[in-house]
Structure 1
Amino acid sequence: MIDEHDSTQLKHALENQRRSITVSFPKNAVLTAIFLTGSLVNATAQTSLPEAIAAPGETAMLRLHAEGAQVYECKTSADGALAWALREPIATLFLDGKTVGRHYAGPNWEYIDGSAVVGEVVGTAPGTVANDIPWLKLGVTSRRGSGVLSPATTVQRINTVGGKLNGACYKAGTYESVPYSADYVFLRKG
């Protein structure tokens, strides 16, 4: 049985332990966050992109995740054969799981603040597996509005999953959509 003196000592010990935990937890959480952030920055810095889509001298300003589809059209080529041709991407852009824009033909990227950019492919690298559309480097050719995307000079499409259409097409003018996801990194000079 615990007497009153032992009970008081136990209460003080538990109180001191609780204070210690309360005080040290935020310190440990902050230190953990700092070390984790440092690790993520180093991991990001160490992750090298294929040379064809690298953008030396440019700084990443925004990274958005896209979920959508690559839409293909069956067309007759110059030699008279039918083949699938990319018509347009249709995707929703996400930041931290929230919808912040859209990606569509042009290619265009439009942010919720009204800013938008149009790009032109200047470099490609293969996707990770055969069914992944290629990674791209696109130079910004025009801008609309004033906002987050306005300073962008380059867009990189990385981490692609799916989106590639395989197989023959049999009737000109037909369409096929293939689901895909990717990350789009918007960069600016300097």
Structure 2
Amino acid sequence: MALIAFFLAGSLVSATAQATLPDAIAAPGETAVLTLHAEGAQVYECKTGPDGTLVWVFREPIATLFQDGKTVGRHYAGPNWEYSDGSAVVGQVTGTAPGQVAMDIPWLKLAVNARRGNGVLSPVTTVQRINTVGGRLTSACYKAGTYESVPYSADYVFLRKG
């Protein structure tokens, strides 16, 4: 009985989280196809900024995608999401909302602008990045061309029209 209550509570938390998404990343009229958990790193490169000072510039994400605790795909530069059935999507940011605390990367809404393969991700039109933890780099950089990886986790919700 306790196990059933645990799973029901998890379902309610998910429903509540979906209902309270910030307007900037909401996707009205779209239906969730799949939600995957990501664990990985946000990679930054030290570059010379327009004013001549050194600044960290986001380079790429590198993450493993999980479903029910099992590895089912990967997330990398593009940004790309690949599922184990061979389907993949590429997104472009269309909305942002702040993470829960200063060290969390923002929540995102991304429009899918390219697809590959045929599988679970094939009908996806929008990707939301929510529940972010970590990933933000705040230290100074001292040498152009150096890289820094910051651990992060997030949930990615893959949606389709209708």
Calculate the TM-score normalised by the size of structure 2.
0.92
Deviation at 1:77, TM superposition (A): 1.3
Deviation at 1:184, TM superposition (A): 0.3
Which of these residues, 25, 42, 46, is aligned with residue 74 of structure 1?
46
Matched with 2:21 is 49
Matched with 1:8 is none
Structure showing the higher strand proportion among its residues: 2
Which of these residues, 148, 157, 162, is aligned with residue 185 of structure 1?
157
Residues of 2 paired with 1:177 and 1:110: CA distance? Answer: 21
Amino acid at match of 1:45: A
Residue-by-residue CA offset, 1:53-79 (whole Å, 9 max, x unaligned): 000000011000000000000011122
Matched with 2:77 is 105
Alignment of 1:110-125 (within 5 A): 110-125=82-97
Matched with 1:63 is 35
Calculate the TM-score normalised by the size of structure 1.
0.79
Deviation at 1:44, TM superposition (A): 3.4
Q: Which runs of 5+ in 1 are unaligned?
A: 1-28
SS in 2 for 1:55: coil
State the Cα RMSD in Å: 1.7
Amino acid at match of 1:46: T
Higher relative contact order (CA 8 A, sep 6+): 2
Matched with 1:135 is 107
Residues of 1 paired with 2:7 and 2:139: CA distance? Answer: 44
**Following superposition, which runs of at least 4 residues in structure 1 exceed 6 angstroms of deviation?**
35-38
Residue-by-residue CA offset, 1:76-128 (whole Å, 9 max, x unaligned): 11221110011000000000000000000000000001100000000000011
Residues of 1 paired with 2:147 and 2:8: CA distance? Answer: 46
Matched with 1:154 is 126
> Which structure is larger by alpha-carbon Rg, 1 or 2?
1
Amino acid at match of 1:165: L
Amino acid at match of 1:168: A
Amino acid at match of 2:48: T
Query: Quick one: percent identity of the two aligned structures?
Result: 75
SS in 2 for 1:128: coil
Residues of 2 paired with 1:72 and 1:45: CA distance? Answer: 33
Amino acid at match of 1:57: G
Residues of 2 paired with 1:78 and 1:103: CA distance? Answer: 30
Count of aligned pairs:
159
SS in 1 for 2:24: helix
Structure showing the higher helix proportion among its residues: 1
Which moved further from structure 2: 38-47 or 57-66?
Answer: 38-47
Residues of 2 paired with 1:167 and 1:38: CA distance? Answer: 41
